[in-house]
Structure 1
Amino acid sequence: MRFLRRLFKIGQAEVHHAIDGMEDPIKMTEQGIRDMKDDLDKSLEALAQVKAMSIRAKNEVEEYGNKAEDYSEKAMLILKKAQKGGIEPEEADRLATEALVKKEESLVHQKRAEADKEKFDHNVLQMEANVQTIKQNINKWENELKILRSRVKVADATKNLNKQMAKIDSNGTISLLERMKEKVLQEEALAEAYGEIAGASKSIDAEIDNAVDVKKSKAVSELEKLKAQMGIGGEKNE
């Protein structure tokens, strides 16, 4: 069947081999499922037709069986009527014979209908098995399609992520970040150096201030001037 040949190709090659080909495996599987569903509809229609023929053959078996019994009964009634003088014996024999001929014809048709029914019933069993196989294959490939779609999504997401990572590296962003880090470290070291220089200048001023008490010297000088103005001598009174 067309759909089985198409899908078995995919099955034999495996899905990952189909991915490497020019034809999209998802679209191939979707088309295969559509083909199977079309064939399923046709198989169901054919199955219904064969079942109808089987039912018709069954009805013919009953119909020709009833006709055979009816002709047999009519032959008996004709002969009984002849016994009672209701009909000439020669005519009774002729009619009874014709009835029995019809009976045999009905039996022949009945056997033919029975053979047809047996053949149709066998065909029905085969077609029902085929329909069941198609349904199972449709269910199988629909599940495969779901898995395949999920795998494609994961593969696409992984590919895009890896592509972005590769793009970042190719653009030298990582190298740029490393250079920026080196620049920051250099600036931090330079700031620390200036801090040490500023600290060294301040410590020298502090040492000078500690060596000479400017405020105290000024206070002593002012005191001497004030004593001179007041006429206070530098010698102590006894």
Structure 2
Amino acid sequence: MSFFKRLFSVAKSEAHAAVDKLEDPVKMTEQGIRDLKNDLRQAMTSLAEVKAIAIRTRRNADNKKKLAADYERKAMSLLQQMQSGSLDAADAERLATEALNLKEQNAGQALTLAQEAEHHEKMSAQLQAQVNKIKSTITSYENDLTTLKARATTAQATQKINKQMSQIDPSDTISMLEKMKARVEESESLAVAYGELADVDTNVDQEINAALSKGAVKNASSNLDELKKKMGIS
């Protein structure tokens, strides 16, 4: 039974560790930034594609509009030639009618293409707004990440210091200081004692030498008296 309890405890601790890892704000922010940058790349690709379609459609619409105006000018030119007599009336009217039909056809296509271009341009504007929003969010997340990393570093350093401080026993520190103080005082006392012994030895030597010096002076004086007496000097 105890084996299964231990197994459950291990699994539970691993689960908590996994949850803690997932809930790490720094790692979550880094992952969020990576996801947003991936979304940004996809949005930029879509934006470029839609813009390209809008540009091509608008260009085609303008070309169709110009072509319609050109057919209208051709129809007018045909009618002018008919009026001047340089072209048969029946042929001029038939060709002018065909030109006007082509004008209407191209004008209709130009209108349709212009509407499609406007639709694509609106989509492009929406995608551009989305791209700008993603860029702004990435910038905000990167600023938050910088702050979180700084806070995490400070928190880890504070935690380490507090942990070290919590492991220090003030009574042990005081006891250690008292022992060091006693040893220092003992060393100082021994130094004073050795100094006094050295002074005593020096004083004894000085007394001995002084006594010997007096004896030498006395002997020299006796010898001098004996010599004077021998020579008959008083």
Q: CA deviation at 1:152?
A: 0.4
Relative to structure 1, the CA distance from residue 175 to residue 85 in structure 2 (aligned partners, 3 Å threshold; closer, same or farther) is same
Relative to structure 1, the CA distance from residue 165 to residue 78 in structure 2 (aligned partners, 3 Å threshold; closer, same or farther) is same
Residue 63 (str. 1) matches residue 63 (str. 2)? yes
Relative to structure 1, the CA distance from residue 43 to residue 67 in structure 2 (aligned partners, 3 Å threshold; closer, same or farther) is same
Residue 48 (str. 1) matches residue 48 (str. 2)? yes
CA distance in 2, matches of 1:184, 1:41: 68
Matches within 5 A, 1:33-182: 33-169=33-169, 174-180=170-176
Residue of structure 2 equivalent to 1:218:
none
Residue of structure 1 equivalent to 2:6:
none
Relative to structure 1, the CA distance from residue 92 to residue 187 in structure 2 (aligned partners, 3 Å threshold; closer, same or farther) is closer
Residue of structure 1 equivalent to 2:217:
none
CA distance in 1, matches of 2:93, 2:152: 86
Q: CA deviation at 1:165?
A: 1.8
Q: CA deviation at 1:182?
A: 6.1
Deviation string 1:167-226 (CA, Å, 9 cap, x unpaired) is: 333xxxx333344466678899x9xxxxxxxxxxxxxxxxxxxxxxxxxxxxxxxxxxxx
CA distance in 1, matches of 2:74, 2:177: 117
Residue of structure 2 equivalent to 1:29:
29
Relative to structure 1, the CA distance from residue 72 to residue 180 in structure 2 (aligned partners, 3 Å threshold; closer, same or farther) is closer
State, as a whole percentage, how many aligned pairs show the same letter. Answer: 39
Q: CA deviation at 1:28?
A: 1.8
Between structures 1 and 2, the one with greater helix share: 2
State the one-letter code of the partner of 1:45. Answer: T
CA distance in 2, matches of 1:112, 1:185: 100
CA distance in 1, matches of 2:125, 2:99: 39
Unaligned runs of 5+ in 1: 1-19, 191-238
- SS state of the match for residue 168, structure 1? coil
Q: CA deviation at 1:76?
A: 1.7
CA distance in 1, matches of 2:180, 2:91: 132
State the one-letter code of the partner of 1:94. Answer: R
State the one-letter code of the partner of 1:25. Answer: P
Deviation string 1:135-172 (CA, Å, 9 cap, x unpaired) is: 11111111100110011001100111111122333xxx
Relative to structure 1, the CA distance from residue 57 to residue 180 in structure 2 (aligned partners, 3 Å threshold; closer, same or farther) is closer
Relative to structure 1, the CA distance from residue 103 to residue 168 in structure 2 (aligned partners, 3 Å threshold; closer, same or farther) is same
- SS state of the match for residue 21, structure 2? coil
State the one-letter code of the partner of 1:22. Answer: K
Which range is displaced more, 34-43 or 147-156?
34-43
Which range is displaced more, 88-97 or 132-141?
88-97
Q: CA deviation at 1:29?
A: 1.0
CA distance in 2, matches of 1:87, 1:56: 40
State the one-letter code of the partner of 1:43. Answer: A
State the one-letter code of the partner of 1:72. Answer: E
Unaligned runs of 5+ in 2: 1-18, 187-234
CA RMSD, aligned part only? 2.8
State the one-letter code of the partner of 2:155. Answer: A
Relative to structure 1, the CA distance from residue 141 to residue 180 in structure 2 (aligned partners, 3 Å threshold; closer, same or farther) is closer
CA distance in 1, matches of 2:77, 2:181: 127
CA distance in 1, matches of 2:182, 2:162: 34
Q: CA deviation at 1:27?
A: 1.9
